[in-house]
Amino acid sequence: METKKIIVYALIGCILSGLVFGTILYFAVFRNPQEAAKEVKTYEYTMGDFTTNLSGTRVYFKGTIVIETSDKKLPEKFLEKNSELRDGIIQTLISKKPEDILDLKGQQKLRNEIKAIVSRVVNSDEITNVYFIDYIIQ
């Protein structure tokens, strides 16, 4: 009886090992990298130049903001809702202190806030990124 148990456990161990190694081999060798990362076509919309003071100081933000989306029809919505988008972005900029947006974390937080505003105004989750083309705080 002991030999039968050893053989059964050995077979189960071999089968499980084969599954684990087969899975690793599939992901490491046979999987096509192009399948993993499909190219997503994006579209950009330039919101234009923004010049505004920051949070009750005499420090100014001047920059150009570009919105990237994966939906081909959204730039048309951006054009229709341009005033509302610009107002939301300006309100966000005015609420910031200069030290809030001078470092990389602050800039990324500002990008995320602008992305949330744009998503809310155009009612879409397909905003992929927000870019600052010119970015001056003076």
Report the alpha-carbon angle 66-70-71, nearest 5.
Answer: 100
Q: Kindly give the confidence (pLDDT) of every residue in the chain, 138 residues in length, as a single tens digit, with 9 standing for 90 and above.
A: 688 888 888 888 889 888 888 888 777 776 666 655 567 788 999 999 999 998 878 889 999 999 999 988 889 999 999 999 999 999 999 999 988 888 899 999 999 999 999 999 999 889 999 999 888 888
Closest CA to 97 of 134, 62, 60: 60
Residues in the chain: 138
Q: Are strands 43-53 and 60-69 parallel, antiparallel or unpaired?
A: antiparallel
pTM here is 0.70
The single-letter code of the amino acid at 19 is L
Domain spans, the chain: 2-36, 43-137
Task: Please identify, in words, the CATH class of the domain defined by 43-137.
Answer: alpha beta
